Amino acid sequence: MTYENSTETPRLICLYLSEKGRLLANRISSTTVALSDVEMAEIFSSFDQIVFVTTAAIAVRSIAPHIKSKSADPSVVCADEEGYYAIPLLGGHHGANTLARTIAATIGSQAIITNPSDRSGTYALNSFAGFHAVGDVAHIQAQINSGVTPKITKQLDWPLPAVLSESPTSETGPEIVLSIAEPDLNHLKESGIVQLIPEALVVGVGCSSDATPEEVSSAIALTMSEANLANEAISNFATIDIRKGHPAITALNRSTQFFTSSQLAEIVVPNPSDTVRESVGSASVAEAAAILSSRSIDSLISPKRKFRAVTVAVAQRATKLGRLFVVGLGPGNPDLRTYQAAKIISHAEVVTGFGPYVDLCSDLLTPNQKIKRFPIGEETERVDFAIHSALSGDEVALVCSGDPGVFAMASLAFERANLIGFDPNFISVIPGVTAALASSAVAGAILGHDHVYISLSDLMTPWPVIEKRVSAAAEADLVTAFYNPKSRRRVSQLNKAIAILSQFRPPSTPVVIAKAVGRDHQSVEIVQLQDFHGDQVDMETLVIVGSTTSTFSGSRAYTPRGYGDKQ
């Protein structure tokens, strides 16, 4: 089984006018073009997200002739050339607000959000991940913004967006209907109802090698419409792996799950076909793929429909597709946070982690998200909460400082996923700048040659094992970064570790004492090994001891790339 387009990154282009604009545009996107070189009609129809690094007036004049409708237009954000502001101009609730926040976090600017729902601290109906709001959205949103409690009617068994399921509901308020039925827009508008359509359906597709993209897309449209199902409810497509790269499947331009013929052959389907079995080895493609992808055996809600070169079947997913992102925030400052991390956090439905780490990304959080802060310790509880939220269908960002793989939550997430029964393929680890890299950079380049990271916390590793590793690092002459060097209760280990290294390194070896790097109260000191004392070291400090070749350069320290004369 493989996935295509499964992360579905929106296509983003950044347009600029001047050289200054170009430099800023390069920090925002890898696709940048001078505004003078583009045909705006083409850009408008080919990209999901457009960022102008120009004045707002230029951006507005450029897009004005092309604006069609809320659902069809791309999200448009304007950033000034100085990089002070990022302003969503179009599609605020279709990604532009999030994009503006992400840009702001990436380039250190401020996002100017003008939608009332984002400012009033309530959720926005049309920006729930995995849901589409249609009908009388603006009217009901306005009522919710002014404090009216909506009535929520569920027409299918499907989890509501996390924040909505926890909000109060009323019997009399404006109505929000959770349904996958094809929406009757006139009726919804006239009755003042919002239909919230969850992406709950899998469309299984079988096609012959000569099927055209038009045949496949119209077969799907017809099947959906005859079964009275909303197109917005499609979560993904599913088919057989031999159709990977088939132009009609590629043209669907959506997440598509592929199964082998032997996987498909194991599924019992209502409408098997001997011809299909002879040709691909499984008696069913459309029905079997839909059932397999839905992860439930009795999920078929529209059995196979046959067209000239296409078969289509629709199943309802057992659960919403939840994902767990274990996200590294870097050491603290948003400047040192990756664009990918910012994007994932601002799109997540649930953001969780140790409280102060959640605060490190507060600039990315929105009222649409469920936020859960955990106290210190409780690491297993944090991970279990994140996994259970993902199991119930939420997109979850579990945030960690630095890198999630360095003495943080990523490994624990895989361990607990195995125990809890959460598919590890639905865990993504988003890297971050770990404390050692950030500290070494502030101090110079002490990690310039081979190095090792050792945690001095004996909560997870017995002290004799740690001691053995410190001795090995000392003998191997590796620059040694000590994570968790000291806590209020654990003070002696650092001195013991320094004593071991001192047996192998000259007294003049530089030692970097980096505290709260990338945070407001950052302090970085470099001392000689002989003068080291751990008084100022605490839980927010990283200690890096140089190797025998590490040396001072003015007030900085570095480790040469080669051994040169020193060997």
CB 409 within 8 A of CB 379: yes
Residue ranges in 546-565 that form contacts with ligand SAH under rule CB under 6 A: none
* Residue 381: Cβ-neighbour burial (10 angstroms; 0-12, 13-18, 19+): exposed
Minimum distance of ligand SAH from residue 481's CB (angstroms): 9
- What mask of x and - would describe binding to ligand SAH in positions 430 to 469, judged by CB under 6 A? ----xx---x------------------------------
Minimum distance of ligand SAH from residue 526's CB (angstroms): 14
In the set 206, 331, 334, 444, which binds ligand SAH (CB under 6 A)?
Answer: 331
# of chain residues touching ligand SAH (CB under 6 A): 25
CB atoms within 10 A of CB 190: 11
Q: Is 401 in the site for ligand SAH (CB under 6 A)?
A: yes
Q: Is 332 in the site for ligand SAH (CB under 6 A)?
A: yes
What radius of gyration do the chain's Cα atoms show? 28
CB 201 within 8 A of CB 257: no
In the set 407, 422, 532, 558, which binds ligand SAH (CB under 6 A)?
Answer: 407
In the set 206, 402, 431, 534, which binds ligand SAH (CB under 6 A)?
Answer: 402
Provide the Cα torsion 543, 546, 551, 557; round to 10°.
-30
Minimum distance of ligand SAH from residue 331's CB (angstroms): 4
Strands (E), 310-443: 310-316, 323-328, 350-354, 370-374, 395-400, 427-430
Stretch that binds ligand SAH, among 11-19, 183-191, 200-208, 397-405 (CB under 6 A): 397-405
Minimum distance of ligand SAH from residue 475's CB (angstroms): 23
Q: Is 408 in the site for ligand SAH (CB under 6 A)?
A: yes
CB 409 within 8 A of CB 400: yes
Own/partner contacts of 261-267, CB < 8 Å, gap of 24 or more, are 263/1, 263/292, 264/240, 264/288, 264/289, 264/292, 267/291, 267/292, 267/297
Q: Please, where are the H alpha helices in 47-94?
A: 56-63
Nearer to ligand SAH, 368 or 484 (CB): 484
Nearer to ligand SAH, 126 or 439 (CB): 439
How far is 275 from 20, CA to CA, in rounded Å? 62
Minimum distance of ligand SAH from residue 180's CB (angstroms): 41
Stretch that binds ligand SAH, among 95-103, 178-186, 211-219, 394-402 (CB under 6 A): 394-402
Q: Is 43 in the site for ligand SAH (CB under 6 A)?
A: no
User: Roughly what angle, to the nearest 10 degrees, separates helices 463-475 and 492-502?
Assistant: 30
Q: Is 189 in the site for ligand SAH (CB under 6 A)?
A: no
Stretch that binds ligand SAH, among 47-55, 398-406, 458-466, 499-507 (CB under 6 A): 398-406
Nearer to ligand SAH, 83 or 402 (CB): 402
Minimum distance of ligand SAH from residue 434's CB (angstroms): 3
How far is 308 from 247, CA to CA, in rounded Å? 17
| The Cα angle at residue 362 between residues 524 and 55, in degrees rounded to 5 | 95
How far is 427 from 370, CA to CA, in rounded Å? 19
Q: Is 483 in the site for ligand SAH (CB under 6 A)?
A: yes
Minimum distance of ligand SAH from residue 514's CB (angstroms): 5
Which of 414, 443, 444, 438 shows the shortest CA–CA distance to 426?
A: 414
Q: Is 159 in the site for ligand SAH (CB under 6 A)?
A: no
How far is 364 from 100, CA to CA, in rounded Å? 10
Minimum distance of ligand SAH from residue 483's CB (angstroms): 4
Nearer to ligand SAH, 123 or 407 (CB): 407
How far is 3 from 91, CA to CA, in rounded Å? 28
Q: Is 479 in the site for ligand SAH (CB under 6 A)?
A: no
Stretch that binds ligand SAH, among 35-43, 90-98, 403-411, 527-535 (CB under 6 A): 403-411
CB 351 within 8 A of CB 358: yes
Residue ranges in 64-123 that form contacts with ligand SAH under rule CB under 6 A: none
SS3 string of 486-526?
CCCCCCHHHHHHHHHHHCCCCCCCEEEEEECCCCCCCEEEE
CB 366 within 8 A of CB 390: no
Nearer to ligand SAH, 16 or 483 (CB): 483
How far is 306 from 500, CA to CA, in rounded Å? 74
- What mask of x and - would describe binding to ligand SAH in positions 506 to 545, judged by CB under 6 A? --------xxxxxx-------------------xxxx---
How far is 154 from 178, CA to CA, in rounded Å? 5
Q: Please, where are the H alpha helices in 295-369?
A: 339-347, 355-360
Q: How far is CA 278 from CA 216, 269, 282, 291, in A?
A: 22, 16, 8, 21
Nearer to ligand SAH, 68 or 521 (CB): 521
Nearer to ligand SAH, 204 or 518 (CB): 518
Nearer to ligand SAH, 21 or 331 (CB): 331
Nearer to ligand SAH, 271 or 523 (CB): 523
Stretch that binds ligand SAH, among 63-71, 75-83, 165-173, 478-486 (CB under 6 A): 478-486
Minimum distance of ligand SAH from residue 343's CB (angstroms): 20
- Tokens (6 digits) for 539: 């839980």
Minimum distance of ligand SAH from residue 443's CB (angstroms): 11
- Name the residue with the smallest CB distance to ligand SAH: 402
Instruction: Find how far residue 201's CA is from the centre of its chain.
Output: 22
CB atoms within 10 A of CB 365: 17
Minimum distance of ligand SAH from residue 142's CB (angstroms): 43
Nearer to ligand SAH, 406 or 443 (CB): 406
Q: Is 406 in the site for ligand SAH (CB under 6 A)?
A: yes
Stretch that binds ligand SAH, among 1-9, 88-96, 98-106, 479-487 (CB under 6 A): 479-487
Which of 198, 200, 153, 387 shows the shortest CA–CA distance to 296?
A: 200
Which residues form the interface with ligand SAH (CB under 6 A)?
A: 331-332, 400-403, 406-408, 434-435, 439, 483-485, 514-519, 539-542
